[in-house]
Amino acid sequence: MATTVTSSKDVRAVISEERRASLRRKKIRDFFQSLFSHTMINLVGLFFLIPFIWMLVTSVKSDQDVFHTPPRWLPYDNVTVNVNGQQLPLYNVKTESGSKELALINIVEGMGTFVDPQNPTQELQYEIQQGTTKIAEPIMHVSFRWQNFPDAMERGSRPGVGASFWVYFKNSLIIAFFTIIGTLLSNTPVAYAFARINFPGRDILFIIVLATLMLPYQVTIIPLYLFFNDYLHWGNTFLPLLIPAFFANAWDVFLLRQFFKTIPEEMCDAARVDGASEWQIFTRIVLPLSVPVLATVTVFTFLYAWNDFTGPLLFLSSPDKFTMALGLRDFQGQRTMIWNQLMAASVVFTVPIVVAFFFAQKTFIQGIKLTGSKE
């Protein structure tokens, strides 16, 4: 009896020893696994984050700093001093008597005219560069140039036309607004009919709706272009972009129908028995229950209209009609690169969407899961 007890104690001791060892091994393994996953998720995260940061940093850089090599992660600007009522950039100049901080008045053919801030009456001349060695170098400090934003927005993409980025911004808003209205008004009754009204021919028509999803836009765009431009004379107006939105599209019909089908049929039938017309059931019962999916459609229509580049590119030709998307591209194509202002305008273009995302994060994610939409 006694011997068995001791042996079982021994066994228990051995088992717990083994368990402790295995637990220790698991802990070590877990530690390395977690270290690995943290490292990976951060490294990949940098790939997504750095371009964003670079966009923001560039948007507040001064003109002098934009093309600085190597690029700097903080925005720099000249240190300026007030000399005789003028703001002049301060330079570090190597003179015969050591280096001095002088204010630059102008540069003519590589020869800089400087003035000593302590002794503003005397003008001094130095070459900016001798061979490859720089004699005079600007003194820079970290400075955020917020002025890029109003500067960028108040200029147009082409000189002398007068339309500014504010006009483009307004045009984009107008187009997005009416596209959303049209999409909501036209798609909901169609989707309701496909989901809840039992009429002959419904299934055949629905197959046609789904089939149009597979049609690449390249096939229809040329006749549409000729139709809108040459036949209706809608060229250079918003109409070719807005009017089709008022005539339902396959994606939204499908999305809305799938949601409407989840609303209990019994509710609609009960209303029918009580003598409600289909229109009443649609507007009083189905629509009020469909706020989440209507929000999804609204958000995605906004994204689509705000982003759209090809449509405006085809139909809008004069700068006062440009959208933000078209204006940005035009800005880049027309001028020598003013990257800081271009990025500032891009930030203004992106901000409404990011704000919408933070307000309606769930709607965004839900919408992507529902449609699996690209772009």
Partner 1 sequence: MAELLEIKDLTKKKWDFKAKWSRRTRQNFWIGVLFLAPWFIGFILFTFYPLAASFVYSFSEYHSRKPLIWVGLENYQTMFTDKLFWTSLWNTLYMVIFAVPITLLTSFLCAVLLNLKVTGQSIYRVIYFLPSIVPTVASTLLWLWILNPQAGVMNTLLGHLGINGPNWLSDPTWSKPSLILLGMWGMGSTIVIYLSGLQDVPVSLLEAAELDGANWWQRLRYITIPMVSPITLFNLITGMIFMFQYFAQAYIFRGTQGLGSPLNSTLFYSVYLFQTGFQYLKIGYASAMAWVLFIIILVCTILMLKVSDRFTYYAG
| Of residues 21 and 44, the one with the C-beta less far from partner 1 | 44
Per DSSP, what are the bridge partners of residue 166? none
Nearest approach, Cβ of residue 111 and partner 1 (Å)? 26
| Of residues 105 and 326, the one with the C-beta less far from partner 1 | 326
Whether 89 contacts 79, CB under 8 Å: yes
| Of residues 88 and 145, the one with the C-beta less far from partner 1 | 145
Residue 132's φ and ψ, nearest 5 degrees, are: -100, -10
Nearest approach, Cβ of residue 104 and partner 1 (Å)? 23
> In terms of DSSP H, where are the helices of the chain?
2-59, 63-66, 148-154, 165-196, 202-213, 217-226, 239-242, 250-260, 265-273, 278-280, 287-289, 291-307, 310-315, 324-334, 339-359, 361-371
Nearest approach, Cβ of residue 87 and partner 1 (Å)? 26
| Of residues 102 and 328, the one with the C-beta less far from partner 1 | 328
Whether 282 contacts 267, CB under 8 Å: no
Query: For residue 360, which amino acid is it?
Result: A
Nearest approach, Cβ of residue 153 and partner 1 (Å)? 15
Nearest approach, Cβ of residue 310 and partner 1 (Å)? 6
Whether 145 contacts 62, CB under 8 Å: yes
User: Beta-carbon neighbour count of residue 169 at 10 Å?
Assistant: 18
Nearest approach, Cβ of residue 97 and partner 1 (Å)? 35
| Of residues 90 and 324, the one with the C-beta less far from partner 1 | 324
| Of residues 212 and 318, the one with the C-beta less far from partner 1 | 212
Q: With H, G, I as helix, E, B as strand and everything else as coil, classify residue 197.
A: coil
CA distance 270 to 263: 13
Tally of CA atoms within 13 A in the half-sphere of 98 that contains its CB: 2
